[in-house]
Structure 1
Amino acid sequence: MNWILLIIGGLFETGFAISLGKAQQTSGKEFYLWILAFAIFVCASMFLLYKSMGGEHAIPVGTAYAVWGAIGAIGTIIAGIILFKEPMGFWRLFFLTTLIISVVGLQIVSSKA
């Protein structure tokens, strides 16, 4: 259950990064709505990170933070490519893939510890 909370928290981290990107592209009332979305996403993300590190099946803080940050980074890169038309070159995708492999590896070794 803690891994599920952590994954959802990482997705909310993607949400708060996207919200900041969208806020930079807007003004007026729309700007404030994106800032409100940012505040909601960041609170939810931090709360789920916190919850994933506690309880009977707690994820170690170092692993939880690394995985949470990586999920947010991966989601933000993918969203940037799709929503903000950011470049999608070979090296960018190569290192994104190595990041994904690293996150999976951390999950595997943490569940065996």
Structure 2
Amino acid sequence: MSWILLGVAGLLEIAFAFGMKWSAGFSRLWPSVYAVATGLSSIVLLTLSLRVLPVGTAYAVWTGIGAAGTAILGMLWLGEPVSLARVACIGLVLSGVVGLKLVSGSAA
């Protein structure tokens, strides 16, 4: 269950990043509300997952999901640059996330 909470927290971290982008520096009300809600929700779920998971593993997975997901969606939706090197680096981040899950030894 902790891994599921952590995965959802990572997805909310992606939503938070886009909320910050859409809020234009927190100058637009509803995108700002969205950013705050998704950011706080992400942190709450991360905190709940830390009841079982090691902090180093959970934090690395959380930030990895957020960073890779935001970069991928930025390329798909926002027209951010796509290059082989950039995609390969995102692949390395994702492989690190998967690797940490596989070696964590925690099925919780």
Matches within 5 A, 1:15-30: 15-24=15-24
Q: What secondary structure, in the 3-state scheme, does the structure 1 residue paired with 2:82 have?
A: coil
How far off is 1:22 after superposition? 1.4
Provide the residue aligned with 1:44 in structure 2: 41
User: What is the rounded CA distance, in whole Å, between the counterparts of 1:75 and 1:26 in structure 2?
Assistant: 22
Instruction: Pick closer, same or farther for the CA change 1:20–1:50 going to 2, 3 Å.
Output: same
Instruction: Pick closer, same or farther for the CA change 1:60–1:25 going to 2, 3 Å.
Output: closer
Q: Does the CA contact (< 8 Å) of 1:6 and 1:64 recur in 2?
A: yes
How far off is 1:95 after superposition? 0.3
Q: Does the CA contact (< 8 Å) of 1:22 and 1:34 recur in 2?
A: yes
Provide the residue aligned with 1:107 in structure 2: 101
Identity of aligned residues (%): 38
Instruction: Pick closer, same or farther for the CA change 1:42–1:26 going to 2, 3 Å.
Output: closer
The alignment covers a number of residue pairs equal to: 107
Give the unaligned 5+ runs of structure 2: none
Output one character per residue of 1:65-101: Cα deviation in whole Å (capped at 9) or x when no partner. 0000000001101111122110110100000001111
Instruction: Pick closer, same or farther for the CA change 1:35–1:25 going to 2, 3 Å.
Output: closer
Q: What amino acid is aligned across from residue 11 of structure 2 in structure 1? A: L
Q: What secondary structure, in the 3-state scheme, does the structure 2 residue paired with 1:111 have?
A: coil
Q: What amino acid is aligned across from residue 35 of structure 2 in structure 1? A: F
1:53 to 50, 53, 57: 50
Q: Does the CA contact (< 8 Å) of 2:20 and 2:26 recur in 1?
A: no
What TM-score do the two structures reach when normalised by structure 2?
A: 0.92
Q: Does the CA contact (< 8 Å) of 1:18 and 1:79 recur in 2?
A: no
Provide the residue aligned with 1:35 in structure 2: 32
Give the unaligned 5+ runs of structure 1: none
How big is the alpha-carbon RMSD for the aligned residues of Structure 1 and Structure 2?
1.8
Query: Is the counterpart of residue 2 in structure 1 residue 2 in structure 2?
Result: yes
